[in-house]
Structure 1
Amino acid sequence: MRYALLAGALLAAACQSPETKDQTADTPPARDLHTLSNADSIRIRHLDLDIRVDFAAHRIEGSAAWHFANPDGLSVLRLDTDGLTIDSVTAGGRKVPHTLDSAVAFLGHRLNVPIEKSDTLVRIWYKTATTATALQWLEPAQTLGKKQPFLYTQSEPTYARTWIPGPDGPGIRFTYTARVTVPKDLMALMSAENPRQKNDSGVYHFRMDQPVPAYLMALGVGDVAYRAIDGRTGVYTEPAMLDRAHYEFAEVGKMVTTAEGLYGPYRWGVYDVLVLPPGFPLGGMENPRLTFATPTIIAGDRSLVSLIAHELAHSWSGNLVTNATWDDFWLNEGFTVYFERRIMEAMMGADYADMLWELGYQDMQETVNDLGKDSRDTWLKLDLKGRSAEDGLTDVAYEKGAHFLRRVEEEVGRQKIDSFLYKYFNSHAFKTMSTEQFLEYFNAELMKGDTALVSKIRVKDWVYGPGIPDNCPRVPQARFGKVDAEREKFLKGDAAGGLQTKGWTSHEWLHFLRKMPKPLQLAQMQQLDGAFRFTQTGNSEVANQWFIMSVAAGYKPAFGNMEKFLSEVGRRKFLTPLYSEMMKSPEGTAMARSIYGKYRGNYHPLAQETLDKIIKK
């Protein structure tokens, strides 16, 4: 059969199936070309971290102690670092010489530590660089409270090595404890067991007993407060935002229960959300036990909380079953998007989830168009050799991966795919998975040799082919159909104030604006703004789309609020298209460079890296 031949060829040199090989937490993963460590041979087990956060110097310093097993008796432990100053190293309690190899593009410097066969512990004393990619240091003026500084980390995909020397690959899992010292009027939080309130000492202790990869190491330090949502969920944020955030996330406890009803128990104890200051470059980051979230989802009407459903879903796909390498990133994000939409469907109804599917399809189309429909980067199975892992973090992994699972659902039925995913998550919990291993498992557990079914799904076209396959599923659009009708009325001359928009969610407004001709006439922009006050909206998704349209149309009444938006928001999803739109004209280019010059310092290093390429081209 076609699938069996495909799987056999692909797996000839691959690891054994997860059905025949026990992938325990300390079993080395398939070789990851984005780590310089030798964790494929030396089994990393546990990290003891002891660090101090120095806001004045914009530096973290302290020690990282790695517990490991060395079954092959190797003489060197190799770890990832990037920009770190290594002060000293001990192995088995002895001070030992260490070396740092020359920098490798996108990977940093390999740290080499000589060890003896009997050694099981290496401790490294180090300092971070002020330019560490994972760290964003915020001055008090960049926070909501304006009185205290703030620090947060962003370790995905390969930036943990800029603040912790260690094995930095998605398939390398370890448990950890940490002692973190911060200024006494601030609180520290990690992707671990967390405090609920500040203490008097400024010293916080953390424990993570479930094994996690380095990209899920996270630290946040600031003036934050906590409020419970229910017995196992809660929210942390700056005190001035706590009421709003608590209201926005009131359904998060129900989300966890809903997710468990789909694919099995939540295995991480508590599920809390830390709402960060505006400079956070992402929508959210699925750090175990403590999702980091952008404040741009605080819309006041709970209309953007599908992002929380997404980060929660990572507690199964990604955090529980982890992609072995960044080439397998779709196993993380594609599964999570599918799971997110199943959660939202269960909570909000199929017609609501259908809107999310359609907006996601639009995002996928735009990404494929940008990359090129024949681009190798539009395969689900990536090839990032010699490149930054960042290059693979596109909507292809998210949306093409999710639509593949939707395609499978259409062919096998919801009951079968749910049973398959339930078993997949639970039988591979705290293990890693490559694309090839997944396809073998998929064939054995779900396809069961049904060549006709394999032929209908066309697995090869999805996983090892470019673009969007022509059997990509499209969902019914009952609600967006009504939006399309109202947009058409407006474009044919009906007054904006007379359109039937009562009860529209953020998704309907976003679809309404996305499908407008670009540019609209100034008179049309004025009429829409007069009727719906888009320029003043507090909804970040709608605001961003409106400002893109305003730039294209030259609608200057929106420019003041647009600059304010760009001064406060650091999310790359919004910054990249908005600055890119400005760069399309001489007048817009001048405006983009002026605004970026003022607010670049408000953005995370990852956002700066992306925008520097856009603004300076």
Structure 2
Amino acid sequence: MRRILPVLALMAGAACTTIPPEAMQEAAPARMVAPVLATPDALDTSTYAQPQLARVTHVALNLDLDFVARRIAGTATLDIVAAPGADTIVLDDKGLAITSVTTEAGRPLQWSVGAADGEKGAPLEIVIGAARRVTIAYSAVDADALQWLAPEQTAGREHPFLFSQGQSILNRTWIPTQDSPGIRQTWEARITAPKPLDVVMSGIQQGTPEDLGDGRRAFRFAMDKPVAPYLIAIAAGDIDFAPIGSRTGVWAEPATLGRAHYETSDTERMVEAAERLYGPYRWGRYDMIVLPPAFPYGGMENPVMTFLTPTFIAGDRSLTGLVAHELAHSWSGNLVTNAVWGDSWLNEGVTSYFENRIVEEIYGTKRARQEVALDYAAIIETLAEVGEDAPGTALHQPDGTESAGSAIIYNKGAAFLRTLEQEYGRERFDAWLRQWFDKHAFQPATSAMIYEDLKANLVGSEAEAERIKLREWIYAPGLPENVAKPDPAAFAEIDAASAAYAKDGSLPSGWAAWTSAERQRFLQSLPQERSAGQLATLDSALGLSTSGNNEELFLWIELALANRYDPAVPLAERFLGRVGRTKFVRPLFAALWAQGDWGRPIARRIYAGTRDGYHAATRGSVDRIFAND
């Protein structure tokens, strides 16, 4: 997923007991059951679950969507495995309205919801006795994971829309289960929705929709491979489908579908390239849905149904690294998942490396090297802001340390793997990474596990691990001195143009022919203090305010607002009114807020009109800015 990822706490040094498979009692049908790791570094304190005693292995949802009440309601039936003598299971619950908990035969079970603890929610304890399948009847209204959009918030402006965003721990607001990345579960679902809306989920659709005769239809889905609970996702709205290849395609609102299909038309080639690199795609189909602009992130790697922001649609496929990134998650993140959020780099860092390899295969070495250079610059910028010794700049984040952001989890993680590739050669490195995916397929992993695997299967010895700074890369803050540097020639022409502009205001003559990465590099390199006249000249010469590329448009608006450039305010208001991506929304409000008496009234006015249209994750990030009043 492309976003800045909050890192939740780990519990260090606590004991954890593994339940041998033969000691577990299971009444459910035979399904793939993933292990739960037992080491202290795999103990997830973002969940109330006690998987060493009893855990969920399968979830069956039967839910109705009510767009008027913004409510999802029905039942969740859970299959459970438990240690001998265990008579209670603990689930995660945040705001669910539970009406009953029963056995498969309908016998009521004793249950209780404990005290709530902020974002973590509350423990839902069920006395299961000998039961190994329980059904929870419940509803969720305005759940944080669910974004209900009114018709006017969609492209078609005729029908409502719904989408979910579960990562990191929001799915507990609409699904009663053990909401931890280390407790993987298979699942199935029956969802009813009013006509003419279609429903898609992060599972394979089963058959055709069933007309219920009451103005509603039922859709069925199944995921027969164990996934982390945050990867259970849903979307519903007026959407159509366009195929790309035999196993790939894209959903979108009718008004968006043509542009979405053009922008994603390289996807089948990307899947083939990814398979050549690191082995077979194991999920069956790879479809995508381009959501309305309120979606808070660039993309979300929900299995078989990647969720995408429309802000990546530039008309020239210049931002399709996003698609490559979400596809790469089918191996790193979905196939092999971080057991705890403090090891998120195993998900995002590995994926960012993989993304760049796909981009190189499809779009060539020049684009891949330029994107590496942009990512490296982001690392250096973050270290300059927070300090090279800041604990949050380590890849592994224990004890609740807050990560310094995406430049660490994504970019530093990718730089680590790129350094190993440079040191040992692509052929050897690729063989190691492929065996890592194969060995841990459909299982959770930790930093300690990848450290030991690297040492045994790539590096070869403790002495070599020390030489290559293996432990320092994973556990220490900052950037090790042996980091593989980006190609200095990647932006030679652009950096020369930036220097010329900084010296005497010379504007680049080749702007129209530059790649998006080159334009972003130039905009990021501009002097931060510009007069109104200088900004007007830039905008007039380069057409910045009319750019169809949202990454470039965002950089221009941010620069303009930081210089109190009044002509850019209406553009910023329109942009913030149509885009809900946190990556763009938060920095622009922050730029306004930093301008005190000039910017804060503008920020308050714009936010008053846009806040209700943002996802809870975006609202929360902006609310924190306004809290500093």
What is the TM-score when the length of structure 2 is the normalising length? Answer: 0.91
Change (3 A) 1:196 1:25: closer
2:582 pairs, out of 564, 567, 572, with 572
How far apart, in 2, do the equivalents of 1:64 and 1:348 lie?
44
Instruction: Tell me if 1:62 matches 2:70.
Output: no
Distance 1:231 1:337, change over 3 A: same
Q: CA deviation at 1:450?
A: 5.9
Match of 1:434 in 2: 446
1:164 alignment partner in structure 2:
175
Matched, 1:607 2:622: no
The structural deviation recorded for 1:333 is 0.7
Q: 2-side partners of 1:195 and 1:221: how far apart?
A: 16
Aligned residue for 2:112?
A: 99
Partner of 1:3: none
Distance 2:421 2:15 in 1: 30
**Cα 1:370–1:74 shift into 2, 3 Å:** farther
Match of 2:497 among 481, 486, 489: 486
540, 563, 568: which is aligned to 1:553? 563
Match of 1:514 in 2: 524
The alignment partner of 1:382 has SS state of coil
Is 1:304 aligned to 2:319, yes or no? yes
Runs of 4+ in 1 over 4 A off after TM superposition: 10-16, 195-201, 390-393
Which one of 329, 332, 335 corresponds to residue 314 of structure 1?
Answer: 329
* Alignment gaps of 5+ in structure 1: 1-9, 17-23
Matched letter for residue 129 of structure 1: V
Q: Could you tell me how far apart the structure 1 residues matched to 2:386 and 2:501 are?
A: 33
Q: How far has the Cα of 1:13 moved from its partner?
A: 7.8
How do residues 31-430 of structure 1 correspond to structure 2 at under 5 angstroms?
31-93=43-105, 94-117=107-130, 119-130=131-142, 132-194=143-205, 200-201=211-212, 202-385=217-400, 394-430=406-442
Q: What's the CA shift for 1:199?
A: 6.2
Distance 1:224 1:12, change over 3 A: closer
CA contact (8 A) 1:197 1:225 kept: no
Q: Between 191-200 and 218-227, report the one with greater CA deviation.
A: 191-200
What's the offset of the Cα at 1:495? 4.6
**Given residue 291 of structure 1, which amino acid in structure 2 is its aligned partner?**
T
Matched position secondary structure for 2:355: helix
2:33 to 22, 25, 36: 25
Query: Whole-Å Cα distance in 1 between the matches of residues 404 and 237 of structure 2?
Result: 31
Supply the AA of the counterpart residue of 2:78: W
RMSD, aligned α-carbons: 2.1
SS in 2 for 1:208: strand
Deviates more, 1:405-414 or 1:27-36: 27-36
Aligned equivalents of 1:327, 1:447: Cα separation in 2: 24
**Whole-angstrom CA distance in 1 between matches of 2:123 and 2:407:** 31
Which residue of structure 1 aligns with residue 544 of structure 2? 534
- Matched residue type, 1:160: N
Q: Secondary structure at the match of 1:128?
A: strand
Q: Give CA deviations for 1:560-588 in whole Å, capped at 9, x if unaligned.
A: 11110000001111112111111112201
Q: TM-score, normalised by structure 1?
A: 0.93
Report the Cα offset of residue 198 of structure 1. Answer: 6.7
Query: Could you say if the C-alpha distance between residues 424 and 541 of structure 1 is closer, same or farther in structure 2, counting changes exceeding 3 Å?
Result: same
How far apart are residue 25 of structure 1 and its match?
A: 2.9
Inter-partner Cα distance in structure 2 for 1:263 and 1:206: 28
Letter in 2 for 1:600: R
Answer yes or no: is the 8 Å Cα contact 1:309–1:343 preserved in 2.
Answer: yes
State the 1:151 CA deviation. 0.7
Letter in 1 for 2:101: V
**Hey, what does 1:598 align to over in structure 2?**
609
Amino acid at match of 2:594: K
Q: Residue 7 of structure 1 aligns with which residue?
A: none
Quote the Cα distance in structure 2 between the aligned partners of 1:199 and 1:92: 25
Please report how far the alpha carbon of residue 589 of structure 1 lies from its aligned counterpart in structure 2 after TM superposition.
Answer: 1.3
| 2:22 corresponding residue in structure 1 | none
8 Å contact kept, 1:384–1:391: no
For 2:118, the aligned partner's letter is A
How far, CA to CA, are the matches of 1:227 and 1:147 in structure 2? 21
Cα deviation, 1:45-90, whole Å, max 9, x if unaligned, reads 2111000111111111111000122232311111111011111001
CA contact (8 A) 1:11 1:436 kept: no
Checking the alignment, whether the CA contact within 8 Å between 2:56 and 2:183 is kept in structure 1 is yes
Whether contact under 8 Å (1:236, 1:275) holds in the other structure is yes
CA contact (8 A) 2:17 2:52 kept: no
Please give the secondary structure, in 2, of the residue aligned with 1:49: strand
Closer/same/farther in 2, CA of residues 258 and 26 from structure 1, 3 Å limit: closer
Post-superposition shift, 1:502? 4.1
Question: Quick check: 1:367–1:394 contact (8 Å CA) kept in 2?
Answer: no
- Superposition deviation, residue 295 in structure 1: 0.3
Q: 1:384 to 1:469 in 2, by over 3 A?
A: same
Equivalent AA in structure 1 for residue 521 of structure 2: H
Distance in 1 (CA, whole Å) between partners of 2:570 and 2:489 is 36
Find the aligned partners of 2:543 and 2:223 in 1 and give their Cα distance: 47
Write the deviation string for residues 138-166 of structure 1: whole angstroms up to 9, x where unpaired.
Answer: 11111111011111000001111001000
Specify the SS of the correspondent of 2:368. Answer: helix
The alpha-carbon deviation at position 204 of structure 1 amounts to: 0.4
